[in-house]
Amino acid sequence: MIETRKEIDDFATAMEMKLRKRDGYGGWQHLPLDYLKQKLQAEARELEISLQYEPADEVMSECVDVANYCMFIWDILKNGKDNRKNLVRRGSKEKAHSSEEETTNPGTSVFT
């Protein structure tokens, strides 16, 4: 087994402590990845605001929230429960982004 850095152990402990406060809420394994992505983005915005205006303990708490949502997504994918639509092969993100723009902005070009 790999020996982990103290900082990683400390951070993982903070993640676990926060998750234990939510025990009994049904877990994350059944949640759609799109929903988790939206929650991750919201937590990232909270972290951004926290970094500007709040004390260190609040910023650290937001960091843990962001990390937990990342872990939820990672865990679902690790367990083969990928429920995303419109998957593209690695290296074709530009194509996916282009298609996404056309879907969200019909009639506009990426180049205009």
Q: CATH number, domain at 93? A: 1.10.287
Q: Give me the pLDDT at residue 100, please.
A: 57
Residue 64 in any domain: the answer is yes
Q: Give me the pLDDT at residue 90, please.
A: 72
Three-class secondary structure assignment of 11-76: HHHHHHHHHHHCCCCCCCCCCCHHHHHHHHHHHHHHHHHHHHHCCHHHHHHHHHHHHHHHHHHHHH
Q: Give me the pLDDT at residue 1, please.
A: 87
Residue 110 in any domain: the answer is no
Residue 8 in any domain: the answer is no
The number of distinct structural domains making up the chain is 1
Residue 12 in any domain: the answer is no
User: Which residues of the chain are modeled with pLDDT < 70?
Assistant: 89, 91-112
Q: pTM to 2 decimals?
A: 0.76
Domain that holds residue 64: 27-104
Q: Give me the pLDDT at residue 62, please.
A: 98
